[in-house]
Structure 1
Amino acid sequence: MTHASASHAAHDDAHPAPPHAHGSSSESARIFQDDTDQAETLDLDADVLGEHIASLTAWLPVGRAPRHVLDLGCGTGTGTFALLARFPEAEVTAVDASAGHLSRLREKAGARGLADRVRTVVADLDADWPELGRPELVWASASMHHMADPDRALREVHGLLAPGGLFAVVELADFPRFLPEDAPAERPGLEERCHAALAHLHAEHVPHRGADWGPKLAAAGFTVEGERTITVDIDGSRNEKVGPYALSSLRRLRAGAAPTLDAEDLTVLDALLDTEGPRSILRRDDLVVRTERTVWAARRA
């Protein structure tokens, strides 16, 4: 496995977003946020982690540049725009279960002069798949683990991918951490307790999160040509979007973890989330973004 680490601010485009995964319309895809809140988190994810997603697209062993790219579970377009930048001659078919997310994606494409290179398709990929053409590259970032039957989805991709084409599966090792490891001083370990509570929900609702996709891809008929993990460590003082990104993510964490947290934890967490309060996370100058993302590159023979 190749590891690439980076420690710098990211100001352009990046998927999803940690809470995103929109190929499926199942309840698990909406445990923590409604459509609008989720879209805002995805946009912030793109702003903060864009350079890292670009590094993943640059690494892909595509061979000949694709002319048709399929983005499965595209959200608001993090991967879509990274792929359009990486492959300037390509058109992207962007697929998502959320019409609202796709509308937001089309608005962005129009504003960037890219509308003629983007086709959007509303589809629940847990149901029957629509006609999606014959792409040379399929990109699925943080979406495969939300599928009710991901092995079926892998076979669907194998069937539609052009011979010799590449399938890139990108998954999160975990959702980002934002607070310094010894903060907030009043309740050390608060963020980790929230994530531990969330892990129990994921185990119930999103059982494929954290899977090793290499064997699954091989079982679906692909040849896995590479695997790469990027380690993200961004200094929040160098990127003004880190505060809003942390706020959005911690709100989601609170929604999922609240039933298992004690009163003191909730008091500290609510103080962090109070945007008008003196302890608001938006007032902190010690935030970080720590996470990992792994990409598997698999080819159809």
Structure 2
Amino acid sequence: MNRAHPHTPRHGAQHDHHREHDAGGQAEILDLDAEVLAEHTASIIAWLPLESEPRRIVDLGCGTGAGTFALLERFPGAHVTAVDTSAGHLRLLREKARARGAEGRVRTVQADLDAGHWPDLGTPDLVWASASMHHMADPGRALRSVRELLAPGGLFAVVELAGFPRFLPAHAPENRPGLEERAHAATDAFHAEHVPHRGADWGPMLTAAGFTVEAERTITVDIEGGRSEAVGRYAHGSLQRIRGVAAPALSPEDLAALDELLDTDSPNSLLRRADLAVRTERTVWAARRA
């Protein structure tokens, strides 16, 4: 998710220390997310109802750069301003840009998008926000800030996951069927408090902020683990993070089963399972200033 990881709030000063402390682990998940969902991200960008090829793009909540580089690949004449609150993520993004020979086409800006005043981000033709808007403390204010930012006729693309991806079949693991759903249920209270806008319908909020929603599309994601070895690592890293929140609410039996899945030395490790998949939905809203 060029993108904020669905379980890690990324905007707001109260999370700054946690974010930097956890930057390595979250960055790895963001990179795996980008690799696994690359085809879906490219298809969404190709679908956008653009009137002309954008030259100036802003990637809000860019993470480690999945959206930034997908946009640069699709629009070879474009320049992207990549915005994130994490200095660590932006550092990794700059390293990737140098490795790809694209450093002249990328500018990074560290900013808290929940702040009342945004830094100068230019006048973009396209603003891209993938899995980042639901982390905003005040989404309405953020949407209005985007509206003021856009060039006349510019497009705002909001991409969100319906929820955290599922990886295991319902009957797994064999000793505790349904474990993954119970782990997600155990995190519901945390998410209700920290990411209350996850899974929201952004259409009405965009309209209220002064946009006209020109198009909306929901994409079903179902990627079999056999297509990429990254799926196993993505599942492992993701469920490891879920464990940190879910553990207090799980039964001892469920916690033991989850730990066995996460134990890389176990014969039942997620990294050794052949039945994994990435299952979720992504919705994109394409909007212009009304």
| Fold shared, TM-score > 0.5 on shorter chain | yes
Asked if 1:140 corresponds to 2:134, the answer is: no
Letter paired with 1:40: E
Does the C-alpha gap of structure 1 residues 28 and 256 become closer, same or farther in structure 2, counting only changes over 3 Å?
farther
Counterpart for residue 293 of structure 1: 282
Higher RCO (Cα < 8 Å, 6 or more apart)? 1
Deviations 1:202-243 (A, max 9, x none): 111111111110010011111100101111111101211111
Counterpart contact for 1:14–1:48, Cα < 8 Å: no
Counterpart contact for 2:2–2:64, Cα < 8 Å: no
Counterpart contact for 2:2–2:61, Cα < 8 Å: no
Counterpart for residue 35 of structure 1: 23
Letter paired with 1:100: G
Asked if 1:71 corresponds to 2:76, the answer is: no
Structure 1: tracts of 5 or more residues without a match: 1-12
Structure 2: tracts of 5 or more residues without a match: none
Asked if 1:47 corresponds to 2:15, the answer is: no
1:1-20 → structure 2 map (5 Å cutoff) = 15-19=3-7
Counterpart contact for 2:9–2:194, Cα < 8 Å: no
Asked if 1:96 corresponds to 2:84, the answer is: yes
Of stretches 89-98 and 279-288 in structure 1, the one that deviates more from structure 2 is: 279-288
Instruction: State, as a whole percentage, how many aligned pairs show the same letter.
Output: 68
Task: Calculate the aligned-residue CA RMSD, in Å.
Answer: 1.8
For the residues of structure 2 that align with 1:189 and 1:28, how far apart are their CA atoms?
34
Letter paired with 1:289: V
Of stretches 245-254 and 205-214 in structure 1, the one that deviates more from structure 2 is: 205-214
Letter paired with 2:250: L
User: Which residue among 89, 96, 113 is the counterpart of 1:125?
Assistant: 113
SS in 2 for 1:188: coil
1:184-223 → structure 2 map (5 Å cutoff) = 184-223=173-212
Counterpart for residue 254 of structure 2: 265
Counterpart contact for 1:19–1:42, Cα < 8 Å: no
For the residues of structure 2 that align with 1:62 and 1:170, how far apart are their CA atoms?
16
1:29 CA drift (Å): 11
1:150-229 → structure 2 map (5 Å cutoff) = 150-229=139-218
TM-score, normalising length from structure 1?
Answer: 0.92
1:43 CA drift (Å): 0.3
1:109 CA drift (Å): 0.8
Asked if 1:233 corresponds to 2:222, the answer is: yes
1:27 CA drift (Å): 3.0
1:28 CA drift (Å): 9.8
Counterpart for residue 231 of structure 2: 242
Equivalenced residue count is 288
